Amino acid sequence: MPEIKITHSNQSRISEVDFNNIPFGRICTDHMASADFIDGKWTNFEIRPVEPLSLHPTNMTLHYGQAIFEGMKASKAVDGTPMLMRPELHAQRFNASAVRMCMPEFPEDMFVDMIYKLVSIDRAWIPPISGSSMYIRPFMIAMDENVGVRASSNYKFMVLTLPAGPYYGRPISLTTSTEHVRAVDGGVGEAKCAGNYAASLYPATLANKRGFDQVLWLDAHEFKYIQEVGTMNIFFVIGNKVITPATSGSILKGITRRNMIEILKVEKGIEVEERALSIDEVMAAHADGTLKEVFGSGTAALVANVNRIAHDGNVMELDPDNFEISLYLKAKINGLRDGTIEDTYGWMTPITEAVMA
């Protein structure tokens, strides 16, 4: 593997941070990782102090939006060792996004290795408070300077890390939209690209104005089949079954979603159906009392219980205090993350000297 040039910061900013009150998303740790795609290959692998980027106004990302990202978390085991959960899946998904956006793939072993080293260098930034973590944001942008539409030739890969306090998620309310869609088959819904978020903001503000936290996206052909929520996949417990929409082209393939499906199959022996699920089926289940739980899954929140879903003038109320499966999944994954539950899956990578050698 290519060498990573490491430059340590002269002075840590860590003493400026109140770990009991971290404004999520605004404070980076001391260091960042970066690499450049120049003349057809990745080069300049580096870890150095966080500093602003300097971009010419003709930078193509600013005009045509070739920008992809990942989101993952480093947790801390009870003995203080930083741990990552299935980083290789994030590396693979990053490259799937890159291919769709006509960007170069990043070597998966380097993706993981740079994150190991960055997390290790800034390990003191994982708050020593239960449930805290370090949010890891790998991303890639176009770097050509050209106001003319084509794929860029040069790119920059970067990884930022940000301390994150415990996520005390209150239940969320959702409304479908029968006017806007997030993604369409054949589009870019499966790519973790910046533009998907830009496109979702306006419908989200309309939902907020109507008193709902987020949009429950429906399919783009019939406004009938459930897709996902802004930053999360979604699960429904109907009777004894757990149902989640199949990732058939327009839904982001969540890694939390995948982990939950595997855990439920192995540990609870529960039948998990990945299939088309219509909003009508959910409303019918609510009407006959078999809709037991609805919850979102994603790296940031892990599990977000849903207490209300509006669709087409109807409102379904749910009582998250009675949710059992979501509670179980949350405890299980948190236990794997802090090492209090034995990792029988082989999902966790403790970041020790050995893993970095």
Q: How many CB atoms lie within 10 A of CB 20?
A: 9
Stretch that binds ligand PLP, among 131-139, 141-149, 157-165, 255-263 (CB under 6 A): 255-263
Q: Binders of ligand PLP among 54-73, rule CB under 6 A?
A: 71
Closest CB 309 distance from ligand PLP, rounded Å: 17
Nearest to 184 by CA among 198, 194, 199: 199
Residue 257 sits in the site that holds ligand PLP (CB under 6 A): yes
Interface residue with ligand PLP among 231, 248, 278, 334 (CB under 6 A) is 231
Q: Which of 133, 176, 233, 349 binds ligand PLP (CB under 6 A)?
A: 233
Which of residues 255, 264, 316, 336 is near ligand PLP by CB under 6 A?
255
Q: In the chain, which ranges are E strands?
A: 5-6, 31-38, 41-49, 67-69, 72-76, 82-85, 133-142, 155-164, 172-176, 214-218, 226-229, 233-238, 241-245, 272-275, 291-298, 302-311, 314-317, 348-350
Nearest residue (CB) to ligand PLP, 30 versus 70 = 70
3-class state of residue 282 by DSSP: helix
What residues does 42 pair with on adjacent strands?
37
Interaction pattern, residues 297-336, with ligand PLP; x per rule: CB under 6 A: xxx-------------------------------------
Among 256, 305, 326, 349, binds ligand PLP (CB under 6 A): 256
Does 192 participate in binding ligand PLP (rule CB under 6 A)? yes
Strands 172-176 and 214-218: parallel
The dihedral of CA 56, 60, 63, 66: what is its sign?
Answer: negative
Confirm or reject binding of residue 107 to ligand PLP (CB under 6 A): no
**Binding-site ranges for ligand PLP (CB under 6 A):** 71, 192, 228, 231-233, 252, 254-257, 297-299
